[in-house]
Structure 1
Amino acid sequence: MAAHSLANLPWATQAITQSNLHGAKPKSLLPHSLKSCTSQNPSWLGSATTHMTNLSFQSSNLRPYFPARRPIAATVASSLPTANPERFASIEKVPKWSWRAIKAFAMAELEARKLKYANTGTEALLMGVLIEGTSLAAKYLWTNGITLFKVREETIKLLGKADMYFFPPEQPPLTESAQKALDWAVDHKLKSGDTGEVTTSDLLLGIWSEVESPGHKILAKLGFSDEKAKELESLSTGPGFIDG
């Protein structure tokens, strides 16, 4: 192999330089590992280079860096808290909550924490319905001009701002009116004879049923009424209705 080709390799450059300084031609420009490869395979360049590359990676302590990820734990609930679970003892099949209603409830707890409230009230349940955003109830509210921004603004006007140094629990407990709203939604589904899931529409109507609650007052302030409640109920009832 020509010297100028080998000069591109660092170990060959060093050998050629040393031979020029001493005026003698080196016996071999190849390291011992490549000499053995040359005797076995004439086309040593590609195979030997690949072999050395593999060896260098195998002997290296370098490892690909993967950032540590915390495992994601998720739980799926089929029912929400009820004040009197014994009342379902005589019922053959207790209706389950739709996944949109469950998500709305989770968003309500999160919104209560964001506002630094100690409890999850009907106003938080109302905001949870709007934050979930894909259900019939949420779309009906938006169509009638009842938005998350307006509800949050009216909530602060009605209940005031919480202490900024207060740290609410991870799952703020329900207020009495919020618990009654949830129970009303389940009872309404049972009385209707519908065997489907309890939907966000049932939840919204439950909030409206608690006349003295902050959620009802905020809805009324923003233009919700008994007529609109009946219209929503007619839209969300009937065979084959899916919460969405």
Structure 2
Amino acid sequence: MAARTLSTAPNRIIRLECNHNNPFLPTWNTLGLPRLQNSWLGIIAIKLSINFINVRPFLPKYPPIKATVSFSLPTAKPEPVASTEKMPKWSSKAIKSFAMAELEARKIKSPTTGTEALLLGILIEGTNFASKFLWANGITLLKVREEIVKLRGKPDLYFFSPEHPPLTEDAQRALDWAIDEKIKSGNDGEITTTHLLLGVWMQEESPGYKVLTALGFSNEKSKELHSLISEPEFVD
């Protein structure tokens, strides 16, 4: 790469570069661009190298935030051996709520997915019965977010959660409670977000329970929901 520096005016310098050794770089000949000739300047080959510019180093280096939806939810309970104890399936809305919970855990910069994140996931999914019940009782997404900030404090701006933040013990117990409750009911059908919400409520020392309590959720409302999910025709 040969370079020539010319001074055309005071405080103004033009730097010209010509590459005669790399056949892969386009030149004026291959691009059909005109020659600029001057008795003292010589021939300037005008090159365009837009395709060779890599903009990736100039982009912010933030890890991508994404959620992965699986066909089931993690459980600490073993699969039942007897065919009469078939493990019930989670509803699609419950699975989506869990995926949203993982995403929310990353947004609040939590290293784990806790009961408060499960609560956020239920509300963000929005179409499930549990979220509608919460909204009807004045427990909105904005209020839950505010209570989580009060409980946890503002997150560290430079902390990034793992792609799939692992469940806390409280959150895992909430999922297992939902599975147990569905099995004990003896009803067919799926485990719903309402089961999941009640599972969060049953973890009395968990952040999710504290947020619900601060926003007016009570044992009376829990019993109301429990009576609904006990009905065979209940769906998410």
State the TM-score, normalized to the length of structure 2. 0.68
Distance of aligned partners of 1:169 and 1:196 in 2 relative to their CA distance in 1, 3 Å threshold? same
1:193-212 equivalences under 5 Å are: 193-212=186-205
Query: Which residue of the other structure, out of 217, 223, 234, is the alignment partner of 1:224?
Result: 217
Higher helix share: 1
Contact kept, 8 Å, 1:136 with 1:236, in 2: the verdict is no
- Alignment partner of 1:161 is 2:170: no
**RMSD across aligned C-alpha pairs, in angstroms?**
1.6
- Alignment partner of 1:121 is 2:114: yes
Q: Which residue is 1:101 aligned to?
A: 94
Please report how far the alpha carbon of residue 156 of structure 1 lies from its aligned counterpart in structure 2 after TM superposition. 1.1
Q: Secondary structure at the match of 1:85?
A: coil
Query: Which residue of the other structure, out of 67, 75, 79, is the alignment partner of 1:82?
Result: 75
Higher strand share: 2
Q: Which residue is 2:137 aligned to?
A: 144
Please report how far the alpha carbon of residue 78 of structure 1 lies from its aligned counterpart in structure 2 after TM superposition. 3.2
Provide the rounded CA distance (Å) in 2 between the counterparts of 1:189 and 1:160. Answer: 35
Q: Which residue is 2:182 aligned to?
A: 189
Provide the rounded CA distance (Å) in 1 between the counterparts of 2:78 and 2:115. Answer: 20
Structure 1: 5+ residue runs without aligned partners? 1-73
Count of aligned pairs: 169
Provide the rounded CA distance (Å) in 2 between the counterparts of 1:186 and 1:84. Answer: 9
User: CA-to-partner distance for each residue in 1:107-145, whole Å, 9 max, x for gaps?
Assistant: 000001111111100000001000001111100000000
Provide the rounded CA distance (Å) in 2 between the counterparts of 1:112 and 1:125. Answer: 9
Structure 2: 5+ residue runs without aligned partners? 1-66
User: CA-to-partner distance for each residue in 1:49-74, whole Å, 9 max, x for gaps?
Assistant: xxxxxxxxxxxxxxxxxxxxxxxxx9
State the one-letter code of the partner of 1:188: E
State the one-letter code of the partner of 1:102: I
Identity %: 67
Provide the rounded CA distance (Å) in 2 between the counterparts of 1:136 and 1:234. Answer: 14
Distance of aligned partners of 1:95 and 1:145 in 2 relative to their CA distance in 1, 3 Å threshold? same
Please report how far the alpha carbon of residue 75 of structure 1 lies from its aligned counterpart in structure 2 after TM superposition. 7.1
Provide the rounded CA distance (Å) in 2 between the counterparts of 1:187 and 1:172. Answer: 24
Structure whose alpha-carbon radius of gyration is higher = 1
